Each structure stands twice: as structure tokens, then as C-alpha cells.
Amino acid sequence: MSLYADYIAENTHGHVIETEKGFASYVFSDEKTCYIKDIYVVPEFRHEREASDIADHIERLAKARGCTSLLGSVVPSAKGSTTSLKVLLAYGFKLESSSSDFILFRKGI
């Protein structure tokens, strides 16, 4: 486990999955919901389903824990937010709510 993963576990009670091509951080926000906070994939691997593979892994972990939905989010002012929005929609997330600079999505599992 990396120092980043240690930090996330210690300070947020969250989890990190790391591969050679990217990572994701996530947290179980309640008994039935897993929030995927971040997914990062090295640019040269972004068209190889790596983000989907990582999300699939988190989904399996969440299901095994009894979760019935995943949450994901986009901050519109962040770099690459249009791509992030497209990725969440393509993965099956639906709009849950939004505010001035935060869009929350939910996907049933």
C-alpha cells in the first residue's frame, strides 16, 4: 500500500485501489452506499477501460458488503470535468443532485 493509501485510511476511513495504470479512492458512506471519490488513470491508458475496471472492482466490493448503490461526483470547475461527466454517464450513473459547483450521481448495483 502507498503512503497516499495509508493517509486516506487513517484520515478519512476511506480506501484506495491502486494499479500500475491508476488508482481510485472510495468510502462506504453508510450501510448501503459506496462513494467513489476519485479515479485517476495515467493519460496514456485512459482509453483502455482502466477506469471502468477499477470501478467494477469497487462495485464488487460494495456489493459484497451489502451496498445497493454507488455515488460519484463531478466538480464542474475542475480540469477535465466534461470528460468525467461523460464517463459517469456512460458507466450508468444518473443525476442525483447538484449545487453551484458540485454534481452528484447515483448508480444502483
pTM above 0.85, yes or no: yes
* pLDDT confidence of residue 22: 96
Residues in the chain with pLDDT values less than 50: none
Cβ neighbours of residue 17 closer than 8 Å, sequence gap 6 or more? 23, 24, 26, 54, 57, 58
Name the H helices within 1-94: 3-12, 50-64, 81-90
Provide the pLDDT for residue 72: 98
- CA atoms of 36 and 25, how far apart (whole Å): 6
DSSP assignment, residue 75?
-
* Structural fold of domain 3-108: Aminopeptidase (3.40.630)
Q: What is the domain partition of the chain in residue ranges? A: 3-108
**Residue 13 pLDDT:** 86
How far is the C-alpha of 10 from the C-alpha of 68, rounded, in Å? Answer: 25
